[in-house]
């Protein structure tokens, strides 16, 4: 029996299924930015109703399958390395802080900026390969889903982030941790 | 030019895509007479508009309006068409335009994207307020939202933590 039901608040839903927000944006353009966002105390049913009466059962089924969808977005560090060595054309986008970007760089990567955000939506090839990465591969999943939800068809997130890259591909890239 | 149905969501998507591929009046304007901003770049939903006036038939009219936004692509599309629409209008005429008027060339926006047009309306009102730079009307804000994917995308653009290198 499904643990996801229409009367869950969005807060409860995201606790049960952290990938739900990515799934909602990929398919229904919900939760990507504040224009299409939702409140934590809204129920899934309410969010569906105010978004053109989306069929909530279909939405629940899609969220339940979202883990599989998340896996499809990911690219393993070794696979990315092979692509880079083969000369495959791609955009490698680092969404970490500038300090992290400079401390543990991945050669060929560009640091994500607000200006890049604007340029990307207007000028980038929506069929081109884009690989996002962060420290450990969490926020980069959200970044990839955001771009998929905007019609980019070939977007990946580096599984495990730069930390996995350091362990699996290039140990000269320093590993680090973050402290508040 | 198109004879397509303006309420067809497929056509809307196409018009938005067309508008953002070739946005009009994008970027900061040197020597602008007024500037208006709604939202904040920190939360991703910022839109800023610059306006330059000219005299036409003894009336002060908008010569040109430009914009910059870190909002979503619908906001870019609406701002692009809106800046074209307001050119040649008096302040009063421009202020009388609603978000729906400003986004009209794109066709009817679905409920979930109406906020984007309100963002553009808010920035225009901010720029055209009597004081010139003081907001006259903010784009309506909903109750606090859960962090969006866009927030996550931008969470790394500011240094908030220390980096400790592993041995």
Instruction: Give the distance from residue A86's alpha carbon to the nearest chain B alpha carbon, in angstroms.
Output: 28
Name the nearest CA neighbour of A23 among A74, A59, A48: A59
pTM of the predicted model as reported, rounded to 2 decimal places: 0.63
List the domain range (segments joined by +) for residue A48. 10-64
Q: Total domain count for chain A?
A: 2
Residue A107 sits in a domain whose CATH number is: 3.40.250.10
Asked if residue A42 and residue A106 are part of one domain, the reply reads no
Asked if residue A79 and residue A158 are part of one domain, the reply reads yes
Contact check, Cβ <8 Å, B70/A114: yes
A residues 40-99 lying closer than 8 A (beta carbon) to B: 40, 50-52, 95-99
Backbone phi and psi for residue A157, each to the nearest 5 degrees, phi listed first: -125, 130
Diameter of chain B by CA atoms? Answer: 74
Is the pLDDT at A115 greater than 90? The verdict is: no
Among the options B26, B35, B43, B108, which is catalytic?
Answer: B43
Asked if residue A153 and residue A98 are part of one domain, the reply reads yes
For B9-132, CATH number out of 3.40.50.11540, 3.90.1010.10, 3.40.47.10, 3.30.70.2750 equals: 3.90.1010.10
| DSSP labels, B96-119 | T--HHHHTGGG-PPPGGGHHHHHH
**Domain final residue pick, A48, A64, A80:** A64
**Domain final residue pick, A64, A88, A104:** A64
Tens digit of pLDDT for each residue in A138-168?
889 989 988 887 788 999 999 999 999 999 9
Asked if residue A142 and residue A59 are part of one domain, the reply reads no
Domain limits, chain B: 9-132
Task: Read off the tokens for A44.
Answer: 């899934």
Distance CA A120, CA A110 (A): 13
Residue A126 is assigned to a structural domain of this protein = yes
Q: Of A144 and B4, which is predicted with more confidence?
A: A144
Q: Are the C-beta atoms of residues B151 and B145 closer than 8 Å to each other? A: no
Name the nearest CA neighbour of A174 among A101, A113, A89: A101
CA dihedral A37, A43, A46, A52 (to 10 degrees): 50
CA distances to A9, A129, B8, B63 from A24, rounded to whole Å, are: 14, 22, 22, 42
Least confident segment among A6-15, A160-169, B63-72: B63-72
Mean pLDDT calculated for residue range B31-56: 80
Asked if residue A36 and residue A104 are part of one domain, the reply reads no
B43 in active site: yes
Q: What is the pLDDT of residue B137?
A: 43
pLDDT class of B142 with cuts at 50, 70, 90: very low
- The mean pLDDT of chain B is 78
Tens digit of pLDDT for each residue in A43-97?
999 999 988 889 999 999 999 888 778 888 999 999 999 999 999 999 999 999 8
pLDDT class of B149 with cuts at 50, 70, 90: confident
| Number of CB atoms found within 10 A of residue A12's CB | 16
Q: What is the pLDDT of residue A90?
A: 97
Name the nearest CA neighbour of B146 among A84, A14, A7, A113: A14
Name the nearest CA neighbour of B26 among A75, A121, A6, A113: A121
Tens digit of pLDDT for each residue in A122-134?
778 889 999 999 9
Residues of B in contact with A145 (CB under 8 A): 149
Residue A109 is assigned to a structural domain of this protein = yes
Q: What is the pLDDT of residue B20?
A: 76
Mean pLDDT calculated for residue range B6-15: 67
Mean pLDDT calculated for residue range B144-149: 73
Q: Which residues contact B110 (CB under 8 A, 6 or more apart)?
A: A52, B9, B12
Residue A111 is assigned to a structural domain of this protein = yes
| DSSP labels, A6-71 | TTSBHHHHHHH-TTHHHHHHHHH--SSSTTS---TTSBHHHHHHHTT---HHHHHHHHHTHHHHHH
């Amino acid at each position: 029996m499904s643990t996801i039901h229409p009367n869950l608040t969005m807060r409860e839903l995201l606790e049960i299924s952290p990938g739900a927000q990515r799934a909602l944006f990929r398919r229904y353009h919900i939760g990507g930015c504040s224009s299409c966002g939702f409140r934590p105390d809204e129920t899934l049913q309410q969010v569906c109703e105010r978004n053109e009466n989306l069929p909530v059962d279909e939405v629940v089924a899609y969220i339940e399958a979202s883990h599989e969808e998340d896996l499809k977005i990911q690219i393993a560090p070794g696979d990315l390395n092979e692509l880079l060595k083969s000369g495959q054309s791609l955009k490698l986008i680092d969404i970490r802080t500038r300090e992290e970007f400079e401390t543990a760089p991945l050669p060929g990567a560009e640091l994500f900026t607000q200006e890049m955000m604007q340029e990307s939506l207007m000028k980038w090839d929506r069929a081109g390969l884009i690989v996002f990465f962060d420290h450990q591969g969490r926020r980069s999943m959200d970044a990839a889903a955001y771009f998929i939800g905007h019609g980019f068809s070939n977007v990946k997130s580096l599984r495990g982030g730069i930390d996995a890259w350091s362990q699996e591909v290039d140990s000269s890239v320093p590993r680090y941790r973050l402290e508040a | 030019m198109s004879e397509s149905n303006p309420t067809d969501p497929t056509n809307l998507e196409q018009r938005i895509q067309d508008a953002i591929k070739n946005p009009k009046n994008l970027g900061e304007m040197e020597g602008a007479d007024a500037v208006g901003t709604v939202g904040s770049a920190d939360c991703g939903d910022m839109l800023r508009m610059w306006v330059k006036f000219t005299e036409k038939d003894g009336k002060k009219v908008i010569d040109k309006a430009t914009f910059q936004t870190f909002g979503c692509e619908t906001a870019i599309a609406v701002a692009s068409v809106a800046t074209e629409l307001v050119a040649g209008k008096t302040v009063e005429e421009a202020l009388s335009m609603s978000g729906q008027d400003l986004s009209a060339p794109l066709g009817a926006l679905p409920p979930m994207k109406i906020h984007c047009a309100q963002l553009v309306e808010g920035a225009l009102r901010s720029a055209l307020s009597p004081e010139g730079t003081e907001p006259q009307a903010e784009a309506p804000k909903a109750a606090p939202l859960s962090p969006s994917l866009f927030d996550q995308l931008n969470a790394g653009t500011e240094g908030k933590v220390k980096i400790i290198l592993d041995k």
